[in-house]
Amino acid sequence: MEWLGLQFVAELPASGQILLDCSHNPLLVLVAYLVACAASFATLDMAERVVHAEDPGSRRIWRWIGATCLAGGIWAMHFISMLAFQTPIDIQYDLGVTLFSLLIALLASWLAMHTLSEVQPSALHCLKTACVIGLGIAGMHYVGMAAMKSSATAYYQPGLFALSVLIAIGASFAALWVARYLSEGSGVAHQLLKYSAALILGAGIISMHFTGMAALDLVLPEGALAASGGDTGHLQLGLTVALIILLILGSAISAALADKKLQNKENDLRRVNALLSQLDQARMSLQQAANYDALTNLTNRRGFNQLFAEKLSQKTSEGGMLAVMFLDIDHFKRINDSLGHDAGDALLKVIAQHIKSSVRSHEDVVARFGGDEFCILISLRDREEARGMAQRIMHKMKEPIELAGRRMVMTTSIGISLFPEDGTTCEELLKHADLALYQSKGAGRNGLHFFNSSLKTRASFELQLEEELRSALRQDHALMLYYQPIFELKTGRVTKLEALIRWQHPVHGLLTPDRFIGIAENNGLIAELDNWVLRRACRDLGELSRHGCAELKIAWNCSPLNLAREELAEEIEHALHTAGVAPERLELEVTENALMGNIANTLVLLRQIRALGVSLSIDDFGTGYSSLAYLKRLPLNTLKIDRSFILDIPTATADMEIVQAIIVMAHTLHLQVVTEGVESLEQYEFLERSGCDFIQGYLLSRPVPLDELRAVLDEINQRKPVLGVNPLSLARDTFAPASLDPSLKSLAPHAGASIVRPIR
């Protein structure tokens, strides 16, 4: 039976003689198998590149390269295998038919690559495509066999012929199916799977060939004599063809590998660019937050100081007068106490608009320094011009305001200092305006006062405090440390404490740091004061260890001026050694501006301190002017978000976004995040959702002395969930004003209300 030019027989013809001593060269058979495996590997590699290529043009190129590799590999395998075929007769090959078999292989390979380039084709689709590809490969093989020209007639056994076609289809289906799992993934295991698949697919391809050869019987006509096959050069030709095709396949694989590395680098670059873009957005948000007040959209203290310095420099060189006006809303605290903070915020917005409408929009600067404190900077020709503007503001403030269903009238106290009459620097003028403001408030409020020499009595008072502070540093009982718990959200326990200095003054009572830290810094006492706090904190750490708190850490605030001292690292090491405390239990807190003051020297000092084992934290983050480029170079462990960003949460969407951006940025830089000033359960829940690591604030506890600390820690750590309520919600009524010491009662509006000003 003859079909498509092939002779099929159930039994061989009665006449003629069968060539029984046909064989194959083992070396060329092995070479043919290696070529088949290499072609399979190259095809799988090209298919992977097609799937991952983003440009349609690149996909088409890799698809054609893969088709060429597969077709060339299969055809070369067939050609080498035929060269390995040794017979006692002379065999020639028709060139046209041989090239036609190559065209069939190319078409089948292109169809294979087209399917391989699809993402997760279905099993049915793979099977249909495998049938077409398998028939194409079998067609290539048998068309190539038809190219043989010899004196013998080729007959095929139908069973083995059909088996060879099924093997071709099976190998094609296996290639398509394996490619589904190789389109994604990387690493050593992925490569080993690809190598294994190539060996199996190569075995399937060559098995098809030799199954087809097993189906072949060569029959000589009766009486014909077998002659020498003359295959002297077959080995050299086969090895040459193998070398050429392997070089081509190797080049294609190398190109695919290079393209993969290039694409990975491009993807890495995109991720880096995306991260940099996010950091830029966070930096812009931080800059916006650093220069503008989120509630009123007025300039904040930092932005005001920048504009003030510019105008002061201009007036110094060109001549002219400036007026600095401090405004404080009279009895504003009563609004928060009676109507709540939301009403207080709404009132502040109205007041801000009243003030802005009373000044010259383009020439004057209006800023909110925090709370109910506002500051105005104006250019003027004489002293009375400042008085006239202050009176306009006071008159505007007396307009009735509708708030929370009530009609109310607010008043303001104003203090004014003039340049150059009352000072020539920003600090001096602000200080004198503040002194004048206190005079207005002391005179019964709802008035204005200019700075005058009589206010310098305050300076005398500060001088007295300086002398008494020097004496207190030599005593052992005047200064003391209070500790505020820092709660770790992950463990649900207090794991840190912040050490906060207090001064028990014999006349003025318990003084908080804002009353005497400035005096210490201005009079060269800050290094001695910081060292006292360091030694006492280390001593208290040892005391806590002896009472079962061996894992607590203490955070110690370091003055910016102290960071300029090279001996700071030695003092820390000496204090730790004297107290017998592990360095890992001490954390040094410094502010952004302190870090950026002299970044080169600061970086050296911080690395020395970090080498001791002491942790480093950046305090009040977001209120200074740190650079992200420098921030990543600093050997920091912790970033503490300033309470100004937490104060208006959850009502302030912008503050929430800024806090989330800071947390993401900090975690990107492998820093832990502490948020201070947490005073409500809503703030706590928001920070917990945002991934914050630690919280600190009046929701947990006010600062307490060491002898009261153990009870506070036990109370916080032993809180249990009640009826599904977060355990920290039990703190709402724990620290009512009645529980505060007398020096703190004035800062607590009422039970359960937020504390307006922080106590450090």
Residue 485 lies in a domain: yes
- Across 29-38, 166-175, 365-374, 742-751, the highest mean pLDDT is recorded for 365-374
User: What integer is the mean pLDDT of 16-25?
Assistant: 62
For residue 23, what are the β-bridge partners?
A: 86
Residue 178: how many CA atoms within 13 Å on its side-chain side? 24
End position of a domain, from candidates 436, 451, 466: 451
* Pairing mode of beta strands 586-591, 553-557: parallel
Instruction: Give the pLDDT confidence score for residue 258 in this predicted structure.
Output: 81
Task: Please tell me whether residues 234 and 334 are part of one structural domain.
Answer: no
User: Are 389 and 495 in the same domain?
Assistant: no
Of the pLDDT bands very low, low, confident and very high (cuts 50, 70, 90), residue 326 is very high
Q: Which residues pair with 408 in a beta bridge?
A: 401
pLDDT of 419: 93
Question: Please, are residues 416 and 436 in contact by the beta-carbon 8 Å criterion?
Answer: yes
Q: What is the CATH number of the domain that holds 311?
A: 3.30.70.270
pLDDT tens for 666-708 read: 998 889 999 999 999 999 999 999 999 999 999 999 999 998 9
For residues 98 and 31, state if they share a domain: yes
Is residue 466 one of the residues assigned to a domain?
no
Q: How far is CA 733 from the centre of its chain?
A: 37
Percent share of the chain, pLDDT over 90: 19
**Exposed/middle/buried for 172, CB within 10 Å: 0-12, 13-18, 19+?**
buried
745 — pLDDT class (breaks 50, 70, 90): very low
End-of-domain residue from the set 225, 248, 268:
268
Cβ neighbours, 10 Å, residue 743: 16
Q: Is 493 helix (H, G, I), strand (E, B) or coil?
A: strand
Is 41 in a helix, a strand, or coil?
Answer: helix
pLDDT digits (tens, 9 = 90+) for 83-98: 777 776 767 777 777 7
Per-residue model confidence (pLDDT) at position 231? 52
In whole angstroms, give the CA distance from residue 93 to residue 115.
33
Give yes or no: residues 481 and 411 share one domain: no
Average per-residue pLDDT in the chain?
79
CA distance 694 to 107: 65
Residue 274 lies in a domain: no
Give me the domain span that covers residue 706.
474-745
User: 426 and 519 share a domain?
Assistant: no
Answer yes or no: do 254 and 308 share one domain: no
**How many whole angstroms separate alpha carbon 401 and alpha carbon 408?**
5
More confident residue, 3 or 518: 518
Residue 277 in any domain: the answer is no
Residue 212 lies in a domain: yes
Residue 715: in which H helix or E strand, if any? helix 706-717
Look up residue 77 and give its amino acid: M
pLDDT-derived band at 225, boundaries 50, 70, 90: low
592-611: pLDDT as tens digits: 777 766 677 778 888 888 99
As a whole number of angstroms, the distance between CA 130 and CA 550 comes to: 70
585 with 711, same domain: the answer is yes
- Least reliable range by pLDDT among 166-170, 260-264, 409-413: 260-264
The answer to whether 650 touches 683, Cβ cutoff 8 Å, is yes
Task: Retrieve residue 25's tokens.
Answer: 């060269």
> How do residues 625-659 score in pLDDT, each as one tens digit?
556 666 777 888 999 988 888 888 888 888 899 99
Domain end point (choices 249, 268, 287): 268
456 lies in some domain: no
- Residue 697 included in any domain: yes
pLDDT score, position 721: 42
- In terms of domains, do 412 and 520 share one? no
pLDDT-derived band of residue 749, with 50, 70 and 90 as boundaries? very low
* Number of other residues whose CB lies within 10 A of the CB of residue 627: 13
211 and 345, same structural domain? no
**Residue ranges in 147-233 assigned as alpha helix (H):** 158-182, 188-214
- Number of separate domains in the chain: 3
Does residue 583 contact residue 554 with C-beta atoms inside 8 Å? no
Same domain, 543 and 677: yes
Residue pair 129/176 in contact (Cβ under 8 Å)? The answer is: yes
Give phi and psi for 368, each to the nearest 5.
-110, 120
- Indicate if 503 and 631 belong to the same structural domain: yes
Give 676's strand partners. Answer: 696
Instruction: Return the minimum-mean-pLDDT range out of 213-227, 449-463, 566-580.
Output: 213-227
Residue 287 lies in a domain: no
Please tell me the predicted confidence (pLDDT) of residue 723.
31
* Residues 352, 431 within the same domain: yes
Q: Domain holding 478: CATH number?
A: 3.20.20.450
- pTM of the model as a whole: 0.43
Q: In the prediction, which pLDDT does 466 show?
A: 83
